[in-house]
Homo-oligomer: A and B are copies of this chain.
Amino acid sequence: MTPRFSVWGVTGLPEIEPNHDLVALIADAIAAQAKTDPDLALQSGDILVVTSKIVSKSEGMQVPAADREKAIAADTVRIVAERVHPGGTFRIVETRQGLVMAAAGIDMSNVPEGTALRLPADPDASARALCAGLRDRLGVEIGIIVTDTIGRAWRVGQTDMAIGAAGIQLTDDLRGANDANGRPLHVTQAVVADEIAGAADLVKGKTTGIPVAVVRGLDRFVTDLDAPGARTLARTGDDDMFRFGSAEAYRLGYEAAMAEIKAKRKQRQE
């Protein structure tokens, strides 16, 4: 038995604006595609991968481009690392969604001239609403992943990752399972939600205006609507060994030592 899956782009979606009904628009676009190829109608077990950009647009997360810096500050929980360059300051921050990324995910491409776009306030809630709406409307048990394009430490470029999810088992947790030789696999927890998000990017693309993809054949990861969301994929607490950039952490250590010396001197003088 050959394990396999396929991925395709949903074409024909209009430019999304505030208060557009994404459930209806996505369902209609898929129905139109299915008219020419019946295989493209949604089935139970399909996973719909939706670019966060259209979710943000339908949720009215546009801000004037002039307010971009203010929006970044509003969506930033803390600054992780920054670097000043001639054109301004490049900042990697932890966002209120629990993501660590450049500029709090606020984007100025694929948005109307003069505007910038914030991430959905709660991408897991957005995913749940989409998932519930499409399941109801079409009578099929599908899963939803909401994605954004995110850079990684130690690698060039970006890949798409899951920032919101509903009806999906996010990881294939192999901790405690056995390998093909029957020996225990210790630390492997494959983040299938990120792997699916990346796969969908290969048909969505950023220059083609295709913001939604369907993944068929990974039914085993489709589950209850109230399964844990993508927020649980964030590692930003005590486990995070890269809470600050190297330059920032170095400076904190340097300043801590200087403060310690100063306090000791003061104590001796008293």
Contacts and interface: CB of A to CB of B under 8 A. Distances in A.
B233 A188 contact: no
Interface string A101-133: 010000011111100000000000000000000
B153 A242 contact: yes
A243 interface: yes
A195 B4 contact: no
B9 A7 contact: no
A154 B234 contact: yes
Interface in A139-181: 149, 152-161, 171-172, 174, 177-181
Interface in A193-214: 194-196, 198-199, 201-203, 205-210
Interface residues of A, number: 94
A56 to B, nearest CB: 15
A240 B205 CA distance: 26
Contacts of A44: none
A186 B92 CA distance: 17
Given A2-B8, A201-B195, A242 B240 contact: no
A257 interface: yes
A202 B196 contact: yes
Contacts of A198: 159, 194-195, 198-199
A268 interface: no
Contact of A157 (B6, B111, B153, B191): B191
A191 B108 CA distance: 20
A241 B206 contact: no
Interface string A1-17: 11111111101000000
Contact of A188 (B149, B155, B187, B236): B149
Interface of A: 1-9, 11, 33, 37, 40, 81, 83, 92, 99-100, 102, 108-113, 149, 152-161, 171-172, 174, 177-181, 183-192, 194-196, 198-199, 201-203, 205-210, 218, 232-236, 240-258, 261
8 contacts: A2-B11, A110-B183, A111-B181, A149-B190, A154-B242, A155-B194, A157-B190, A192-B201
